[in-house]
A and B are shown apart, each in its own frame.
Chain A
């Protein structure tokens, strides 16, 4: 007998039930994936683009999903890849480095109508922007989204041990940044 996820996946793959199942998928995951993407991309308009592209990709590639991982970790992985490749493309278009782009994204936050964070929250964003990409990835998923290490491990294809070490180092760096910049 098929479990709940396998049944849902088979509905997504079946041409007759696909549209309905996909609608449910979008309804269930749009907010979670949105906030996941927003952590990387920072501004709303770009997040909206990446979110839509993520769902289009999920729709197009659902047939290739083999069920080795949970459906939502597979979707998170697509969203993560879409976010990172979007940022890399943006940096190339602006002819700036990834670190410079991070700085620019944070600078723009101060005038962003869709950012209502206080001084501490802005400072935290600035601290995150100083981290290497991998540490940002782990920190965002662990601190803001409270994902389990086992889930982050599936999404990033990294061992739990390495993730714990990354998160620990990221915490230390953020703590040091906040102490010296407050």
Chain B
């Protein structure tokens, strides 16, 4: 009797490596079916074709430009120009030191609003409590003048 091929059963044959790749293919089809069927979520028509192009375009913008092949003279000229600008900026900055008071309040506010500092409202309140010193001696006249300039209805001050 002819020996049965290990990939045949009663004369039926299967493609090479069928069982080796079966799980992988089954997982893929199960995943696809399950993810799209169970939740009711849908996507616009042809979305998955178009999103690929959108991603690849964005990646091209994000790529680091390749090294320039311009003549060496231009490179030296560019370096010299950068050094000249850097020196003038450093000299300029040494005369005008920037401190905290130079920061505009709107810049500080937008820094917080844009979430550059990862603090929630509770954290900010806790910080505020730590930083607020109510024992400060405030000149009453100065306070009155400040409020007078900022409150639309001055009769409130009298009350």
| 0 or 1 for each of A135-173: is its CB under 8 Å from B? (1 = yes) | 000000000111000000000000000000000000000
A99 within 8 A of B: no
Judge whether B40 and A23 touch: CB under 8 Å.
no
> How many A-B residue pairs lie within 8 Å, measured between CB atoms?
81
Residues of chain A contacted by B34 (CB below 8 angstroms): 144-146
Residues of chain B within 8 A of A52, CB atoms compared:
51, 54-55, 58
Binds B, one of A31-39, A74-82, A100-108: A31-39
Contact among B30, B41, B59, B120 with A115 in the assembled complex (CB-CB below 8 Å): B41
Interface size, B (range): 20 to 34
Complex contacts, A23 vs chain B, CB 8 Å: 52, 56
Residue of B nearest to A91 (CB): B120
By a CB distance below 8 angstroms, the chain B residues around A26 are 52, 55-56
- CB of A122 within 8 A of CB of B40, answer yes
Q: How far is the CA of A31 from the CA of B29 in the complex (A)?
A: 12
Q: Is the interface of A mostly helix, strand, loop or mixed?
A: helix
B37-74: CB near A (< 8 Å → 1, else 0) gives 01111111001100110111011001000000000000
Query: Please, how many residues of chain A have a CB less than 8 angstroms from a CB on the other chain?
Result: 34
Q: Among residues 67 to 94 in chain A, which have CB atoms less than 8 Å away from a CB atom of chain B?
A: 89, 92
* CB closest chain-A residue, reference B59: A59
| Chain B, range 96-141, C-beta contacts under 8 Å to A | 115, 120
B54 near A92 with CB under 8 A, answer no
B59 & A114 in contact (Cβ 8 Å cutoff): no
Question: From residue B124, how far is it (CB to closest CB) to chain A in Å?
Answer: 11
In the complex, what residue of chain B is closest to A52 when comparing beta carbons? B55
Instruction: State the CA gap A117–B38 with chains docked (Å).
Output: 8
CB distance B62 to A59 under 8 Å?
yes
A60, B59: Cα distance in complex, Å = 9
Within 8 Å of chain A (Cβ to Cβ): is B36?
yes
B35 smallest CB distance to A (angstroms): 4
Known contacts A114-B43, A117-B41; A56/B115 CB under 8 A: no
Q: In this assembly, does A175 line the interface, its C-beta being within 8 Å of a C-beta of chain B?
A: no
Q: Is A48 an interface residue (CB 8 A)?
A: yes
Chain A residues with Cβ under 8 A from B54's Cβ?
52
B39 contacts A125, CB within 8 Å? yes
- Pick the contact of A144: B35, B43, B62 (CB < 8 A): B35
Most B C-beta atoms less than 10 A away, residue of A23, A31, A39: A31
| A52 CA / B59 CA spacing, docked (Å) | 9
B contact residues around A38 at 8 Å (CB): 41
Inter-subunit contact B32/A31 (CB<8 Å): yes
Asked whether B31 is an interface residue with its Cβ less than 8 Å from the other chain, the reply is yes
| A116-B40, A117-B40, A121-B38 known; A56+B58 contact, CB < 8 A | yes
CA distance in complex: A147, B44 (Å): 26
Q: How far is the CB of A26 from chain B (nearest CB, A)?
A: 5
21 contacts between A and B (CB under 8 A): A26-B56, A27-B52, A30-B52, A31-B35, A32-B35, A44-B41, A44-B47, A51-B55, A52-B51, A55-B58, A56-B59, A60-B62, A89-B115, A92-B115, A114-B41, A114-B43, A115-B42, A121-B40, A125-B39, A144-B35, A145-B34
3 smallest beta-carbon distances between A and B, as pairs: A117-B40, A35-B35, A121-B40
